Amino acid sequence: MSHRNWHTVAALLGGAVGMLSSAAAEAQQRRPLPKSVRVVYCVPTDREVRQDYRKAIEAGVVEMQQFYYRSLFGRTFLLNSPIVEIYHPTNEAQWYTDHVPEANPNAEHRFYVSENLSREIRQTLGARRNDPTYRWIFYIDCPPGWGSGAQGLCIMCDADLLGLSGRSKEDKRISRWIGGIGHEFGHALGLPHPPDGYDIHSMMDPEGGFRAYPDTYFAEADRKKLLKHPFIAERKPVAGITQAALYDGGYFVHVGKKRWEERRTDSNSVLYFNETERDDEHIVIHDATRDISVKLPVSDGNCFLSFKGEPWRKFYQIKW
Ligand SMILES: [Zn+2]
């Protein structure tokens, strides 16, 4: 994206057309990082910015950056800073869902959102397919909720926003929707679905894999492709080198600095922990509301639980 285009974004975000306001000046200083993945939360004119959506998107992409890192043995994509940009598109939510796209009037209805939004963001944000400078992940708060990904960008709708924030009626597990990022963004990086009957539990399988996230993987052919991709390089994920500690029925995951979450695979409940200690063998996390501490082993093995400062008791079997 050129300097001039970024200026347009600053104007759209700040509404400061033609004025060198401090907000616009600040936006110019924070030019997007080259070769980064830009994550954009699109809020149509009749919707409001929801901080729970913004945070849920951020937590999801940060976790997915770590999943790529683990799958690719130390390589992953670069997230822009700020991680989630907010963009105000020019139409109401339902317009994106129902407007017959001029460029492709014969498209199936479920692709209208992708057609309509991608046309607009090409003009306003310069988000082109196969952009040499950025890869793009868009979330737009509009129905009907089909995710799509191809040629450098992916677009997801309100079903995914509801899912990431634990409010989906279709599937209450937040992990399912984080898996959805991995899958659609995989398409944006050029990965296809596996051939029928192969790698049915892998991330790029349209039915199985990503819905069972984090219990999924990239098929060997996909790993090879990703390792050669110009947007994948040796780097540390923004939230540090972390892993999800899986147990039968759920997992603990590091979501940033000292913050951990425990998620169950059978519900949308999330429990929040702060990391209180870490040494070569254990990581101790604490849930202040219930006064529960969990001591996680740094490699596979038992974790331990302490309730209200009582002695440690053997708890789940952990697999990293
Ligand atoms: Zn797919």
Q: Is residue 290 part of a domain?
A: yes
| Model pLDDT, residue 204 | 96
Indicate if 45 and 123 belong to the same structural domain. Answer: yes
Domain that holds residue 296: 244-318
Indicate if 135 and 60 belong to the same structural domain. Answer: yes
Indicate if 25 and 36 belong to the same structural domain. Answer: no
**Whole-angstrom Cα distance, residue 176 to residue 179?**
5
* Token duo for residue 249: 């029925």
| Per-residue DSSP letter, 176 | H
Strands of the 79-87 sheet, one edge to the other: 79-87, 36-42, 134-140, 153-156, 148-150
| Model pLDDT, residue 304 | 96
Query: Is the pLDDT higher at 135 or at 247?
Result: 135
Please tell me the distance between residue 43's alpha carbon and the centre of ligand 1 in angstroms.
24
Q: Could you tell me if 87 and 137 are in contact, meaning their C-beta atoms sit under 8 angstroms apart?
A: no
Domain boundary among 206, 234, 262: 234
Decide if pLDDT at 100 tops 80.
Answer: yes
Domain boundary among 234, 258, 290: 234
Dump pLDDT digits (tens) for 29-38. 468 888 999 9
Number of domains the chain is built from: 3
Please tell me the distance between residue 147's alpha carbon and the centre of ligand 1 in angstroms.
8
Please tell me the distance between residue 76's alpha carbon and the centre of ligand 1 in angstroms.
20
Please tell me the distance between residue 82's alpha carbon and the centre of ligand 1 in angstroms.
27
Mean pLDDT for all residues in the chain: 86
| Residue the block writes with tokens 């683990």 | 70
What are the helix (H) ranges across 172-276? Answer: 174-188, 220-227
Indicate if 255 and 279 belong to the same structural domain. Answer: yes
| Model pLDDT, residue 259 | 86
Q: Is residue 223 part of a domain?
A: yes
Burial of 23: CB neighbours in 10 Å, binned 0-12, 13-18, 19+: middle
**Whole-angstrom Cα distance, residue 92 to residue 117?**
12
| Per-residue DSSP letter, 89 | -
Please tell me the distance between residue 286's alpha carbon and the centre of ligand 1 in angstroms.
38
Decide if pLDDT at 25 tops 50.
Answer: no
Indicate if 249 and 286 belong to the same structural domain. Answer: yes
Q: Is residue 117 part of a domain?
A: yes
Decide if pLDDT at 40 tops 60.
Answer: yes
Window from 135-149, 210-224, 281-295 with minimum mean pLDDT: 135-149
Q: Is residue 239 part of a domain?
A: no
Indicate if 87 and 221 belong to the same structural domain. Answer: yes
Domain boundary among 203, 234, 265: 234
Indicate if 65 and 153 belong to the same structural domain. Answer: yes
Within the chain, how many helices (H) and strands (E) appear?
A: 8, 15
**Whole-angstrom Cα distance, residue 273 to residue 72?**
28
* Token duo for residue 104: 């492709």
CATH of the domain at 221: 3.40.390.10
Indicate if 17 and 37 belong to the same structural domain. Answer: no
Q: Is residue 69 part of a domain?
A: yes
* Token duo for residue 199: 């790698």
Dump pLDDT digits (tens) for 219-269. 999 999 999 999 999 988 887 545 678 888 788 888 777 888 887 766 667
Dump pLDDT digits (tens) for 255-268. 777 888 887 766 66
pTM value?
0.71
* Token duo for residue 51: 């901080």
Please tell me the distance between residue 34's alpha carbon and the centre of ligand 1 in angstroms.
27
Please tell me the distance between residue 207's alpha carbon and the centre of ligand 1 in angstroms.
9
Please tell me the distance between residue 304's alpha carbon and the centre of ligand 1 in angstroms.
39
Indicate if 21 and 90 belong to the same structural domain. Answer: no
How many other C-beta atoms are found inside a 10 Å radius of the C-beta of residue 98?
A: 14
Q: Is residue 118 part of a domain?
A: yes
Tell me the residue type at 211: R
Indicate if 130 and 266 belong to the same structural domain. Answer: no
Burial of 235: CB neighbours in 10 Å, binned 0-12, 13-18, 19+: middle
Of the pLDDT bands very low, low, confident and very high (cuts 50, 70, 90), residue 310 is very high
Burial of 18: CB neighbours in 10 Å, binned 0-12, 13-18, 19+: exposed
Decide if pLDDT at 122 tops 70.
Answer: yes
Please tell me the distance between residue 166's alpha carbon and the centre of ligand 1 in angstroms.
22
Please tell me the distance between residue 158's alpha carbon and the centre of ligand 1 in angstroms.
17
| Model pLDDT, residue 3 | 37
Indicate if 276 and 299 belong to the same structural domain. Answer: yes
**Whole-angstrom Cα distance, residue 96 to residue 107?**
13
Q: Could you tell me if 179 and 213 are in contact, meaning their C-beta atoms sit under 8 angstroms apart?
A: yes
What are the helix (H) ranges across the chain? Answer: 3-14, 22-29, 51-71, 93-98, 112-124, 158-164, 174-188, 220-227
Please tell me the distance between residue 205's alpha carbon and the centre of ligand 1 in angstroms.
7
| Model pLDDT, residue 145 | 65
Q: Is residue 85 part of a domain?
A: yes
Indicate if 13 and 51 belong to the same structural domain. Answer: no
CA dihedral 186, 68, 175, 195 (to 10 degrees): 40
